[in-house]
Amino acid sequence: MAPRVAVLASGRGSNLQALIDAARGGAPFEIALVVTDRADAFALERAKQSDLPARLVDRRRFAERRALEREIERVLDDADIAWVALAGFMRVLTAAFIATRPDRIVNIHPSLLPAFRGLHTHRRALETGVRITGCTVHVVRPALDDGPIIAQAAVPVLADDDETTLAARVLEREHQIYPLALGLMTSGAGVVDGEQVRLVKPVAEPPQGFIWPKLA
């Protein structure tokens, strides 16, 4: 049976959709639950449309971060969730939460980490004038946007880009690399070794954990 994954999302959930589609297309994981902390998250609608269980753990009901996290932990445990994939979940997780599933909580970030941790990555990439940016799927650590890198994809910055056009181009890659990276981990092909992910089994795509433009 495929490992059971919960996707945590606060927003529109386009990466959630990519993971749902991949799971149904044969990726080595099952999206077993969608959790959101916002009542207005479109992720809830996506779960409904895909006939997936969804749980709202409303951030407004919890004064304390740990209280909200404990409720999410309970929801995950009840659903027998092995892996957690963050997809636009707008909360920084505590070490206590992360310790509940060691090395089995993953995140996607819209930059080539370690560049541009944090928010407004595309704006900052444009301000910095980089020619190449991308996205990164990594194992979650308590530090923001830090942790062993599973996979990355490179994306060009074009001369006439603004935040919207660049975000859209990177997002296309996010939808490709997130299912691949999650599958590398849930299949056992990728293992955390120290603070790196090593690929210990031959895999199809991406063979080395990166995606080039040619795979577009």
Residue positions annotated with a catalytic role = 109
Min. distance of Cβ 208 from a second copy in angstroms?
A: 5
Amino acid at 95: A
Q: Is the CB of 3 or the CB of 148 nearer to a second copy?
A: 148
β-bridge partners, 100:
none
182 forms part of the interface with a second copy (CB under 8 A): no
Site for a second copy in 135-154 (CB under 8 A): 148-149, 151-154
195 forms part of the interface with a second copy (CB under 8 A): yes
201 forms part of the interface with a second copy (CB under 8 A): no
Q: Is the CB of 60 or the CB of 131 nearer to a second copy?
A: 131
Residue 207: strand, helix, or coil: coil
Q: Which stretch binds a second copy (CB under 8 A): 8-16, 88-96, 102-110, 155-163?
A: 155-163
Site for a second copy in 61-120 (CB under 8 A): 112-116
Phi, psi of 71 (to 5 degrees): -65, -40
Residue of 25, 63, 131, 164 interacting with a second copy (CB under 8 A): 131
Q: Rounded CA gap, 127 and 161, in Å? A: 11
Phi, psi of 49 (to 5 degrees): -65, -25
158 forms part of the interface with a second copy (CB under 8 A): yes
Q: Which stretch binds a second copy (CB under 8 A): 35-43, 50-58, 166-174, 193-201?
A: 193-201
Q: Which helix (H) or strand (E) holds 43?
A: helix 42-49
Q: How far lies 21's CA from each of 171, 172, 179, in Å?
A: 15, 14, 9
Amino acid at 113: L
**DSSP assignment of 133-155:** EEEEEEE--SSTT-S-EEEEEEE
Min. distance of Cβ 132 from a second copy in angstroms?
A: 5
Min. distance of Cβ 134 from a second copy in angstroms?
A: 7
Q: Rounded CA gap, 9 and 91, in Å? A: 10
Phi, psi of 74 (to 5 degrees): -65, -45
Q: Is the CB of 75 or the CB of 199 nearer to a second copy?
A: 199
197 forms part of the interface with a second copy (CB under 8 A): yes
Q: Is the CB of 73 or the CB of 161 nearer to a second copy?
A: 161
Omega before 207 cis (within 30°)? no
Residue 7: strand, helix, or coil: strand
Residues that bind a second copy (CB under 8 A): 112-116, 127-132, 134, 148-149, 151-154, 156-159, 195-199, 208-210, 212-214
